Structure 1
């Protein structure tokens, strides 16, 4: 982890401007073309949810601003951020959090995710480790091909952890699409960074072998 110091006066003004707001977050929702991704997952016998979590986490880890967090009015950058995502449980009809340490190796990550998902099914958790902010908060909403999303969160003290959700796949114009919602703190992540995020997701979904390998 390292401290980020804004040496450019305009970048510092940008940070201060949005960091002083009561509601400093913005959310972009768009559809990602997964036409090539789904048959690739099927032919390689890869689990859909864990593979999507990996791609979502990889895109975030590849963009430094998605690893920035606000602490006491200043910014730190984590070396990596860990996906904490929602999974169903056998205990009740509400979800459990499931946190898996991020690794760039898709095979290792997906294997670890499958084990952790199974464990959460019978031993659910609703707590993240106190004082940690090196998370990505992810959630699946497989019932609806949503066109927008708003997440519950604390605004005071500041919460700068990105929230990323994906929805029900749907077919349109001969392609398969996945709704993807990205909610971020505007003081650390700007529109250009979210744009890069969607571009990365589109690239990985179009060429899954280059990022997931033949596992």
Structure 2
């Protein structure tokens, strides 16, 4: 983790401009093409949800803007961001939050995520997330192919953790498309960075073998 020198940081003026806002988060929704990725997951018998968590987090780690966080009067840059995601509690219609550190490979991550999800009985494990901001919050709504979405959020100006969500994939013009949303803090993430993220994510999904 690196503490940013706000006196020399090129983005400092944008950071201060948006930090003054009452609500500096914004959200973009788009469809991503998962035709190849879904087919390969089925071929390898890999659960699509866990695989998508890895792909989404991998791409996010490739775009530096998503790895900055506000800490009181400081800005820090994390080396690696890890996913904290929703998972249904078996036998109920309630979800739990599961936090798993990223690994160097998708299949290793999927096994870790499956194991943690199966073993975790608590809905919210405070010790997994307390004091951490090296996270990305992820959820999935597989029952709805949404075109827009909003997240619950506290009006804490230090909360600069991005949120990802995706919905029910659907077929269109011979492709399988997945509604996908990204919410981020404008102090760090502009439209160009959103574009970089979606490009990186799509490349990963297309190149997955």
The TM tier, using the shorter chain, reads over 0.9
Q: Could you report, residue by residue, the CA deviation over 1:41-94 in whole angstroms, capped at 9, with x for unpaired residues?
A: 111111111100000110111111211100113210111111000000036422
Structure 2 unaligned regions, length at least 5: none
Select 1:126's aligned residue among 124, 127, 132.
124
After superposition, the C-alpha distances for 1:142-189 in whole angstroms (9 at most, x for unaligned) are 011111111111122420000000100001111110011000000011
Question: Number of aligned pairs?
Answer: 206
SS at match of 2:35: coil
* Contact preservation (8 Å) 2:22, 2:157: no
Contact 2:23 2:157 in 1 (8 A): no
CA RMSD of aligned residues (A): 1.4
**1:89-144: CA deviation from partner (whole Å, max 9, x where unpaired):** 03642210011111122222111011112123xx0322443221111100011011
TM-score (norm 2): 0.93
Structure 1: 5+ residue runs without aligned partners? 210-215
Match of 2:183 in 1: 183
Matched, 1:96 2:96: yes
- Answer yes or no: is the 8 Å Cα contact 1:58–1:104 preserved in 2: no
Hey, what's the Cα distance between the residues in 2 that align with 1:8 and 1:95? Answer: 40
User: What is the CA deviation profile of residues 2-40 of structure 1, one whole-angstrom value per residue up to 9, with x for unaligned ones?
Assistant: 11224256x222111101000100100000011111111
Aligned to 2:148: 148
TM (normalized to structure 1)?
0.91
Give distance in 1, aligned partners of 2:68 and 2:104: 18
Aligned to 2:38: 38
* C-alpha distance 28-90 of structure 1, shift in aligned 2 (>3 A): same
